């Protein structure tokens, strides 16, 4: 288990510890930088704060991103993030993968199987188990979605494959 120092404190972190810490938590809006954990984009500072218990003011986005990429999580920058107003940020484009290569709509929705999603343009803003949680997240973060729907329960339903 790799040991890393964040804000003068040492932590033994591994990818599984990070994934467990995020279980049941919804990602906040992406302002500029993100890391991908379990197929979802997360603000690096949110992830590191949840994993370490540190206040977000104790470290920078770049320190959080660097720590998480050392653990093997892909990182990127939101498309058009430079000069973009934070309220216009989003969590996951439907038209591109974690680091940018094109993917199908079915592939983009795969991490959200069985969840309710709020979508604006070609981006998933949030995904949660219930529509109530999606609406609460949108209100809490001052976001507006163009549509909200539940992603089908199975990969067969998403890809349109016939049952066997």
Q: Report the C-alpha gap between 117 and 105 in whole angstroms.
A: 13
Please state the pTM of the whole predicted model. Answer: 0.68
89, 114 contact by CB (below 8 A):
no
Summary mean pLDDT of the chain: 81
pLDDT of residue 107: 75
Q: Report how far residue 121's alpha carbon sits from residue 54's, in angstroms, rounded to the nearest whole number.
A: 34
- Candidate from 64-73, 96-105, 125-134 with smallest mean pLDDT: 96-105
pLDDT band at 149 (very low <50, low <70, confident <90, very high): very high
DSSP E strands in 32-161: the ranges are: 33-37, 40-42, 75-77, 92-93, 116-120, 123-128, 147-150
- pLDDT band for 161, please (50, 70, 90 cuts): low
């Amino acid at each position: 288990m790799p040991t890393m120092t964040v804000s003068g404190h040492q932590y033994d972190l591994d990818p599984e510890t990070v994934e467990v810490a995020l279980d049941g938590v919804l990602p906040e809006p992406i302002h500029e930088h993100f890391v991908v954990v379990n197929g979802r984009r997360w603000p690096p500072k949110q992830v590191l704060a949840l994993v370490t218990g540190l206040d977000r003011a104790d470290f920078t986005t770049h320190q959080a991103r660097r720590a998480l990429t050392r653990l093997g999580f892909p990182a990127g920058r939101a498309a058009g993030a430079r000069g973009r107003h934070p309220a216009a940020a989003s969590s996951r484009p439907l038209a591109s993968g974690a680091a940018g290569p094109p993917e199908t709509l079915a592939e983009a929705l795969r991490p959200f199987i069985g969840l309710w999603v709020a979508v604006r343009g070609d981006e998933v803003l949030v995904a949660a188990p219930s529509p109530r949680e999606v609406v609460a997240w949108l209100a809490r973060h001052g976001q507006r979605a163009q549509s909200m729907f539940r992603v089908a329960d199975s990969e067969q339903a998403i890809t349109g494959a016939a049952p066997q």
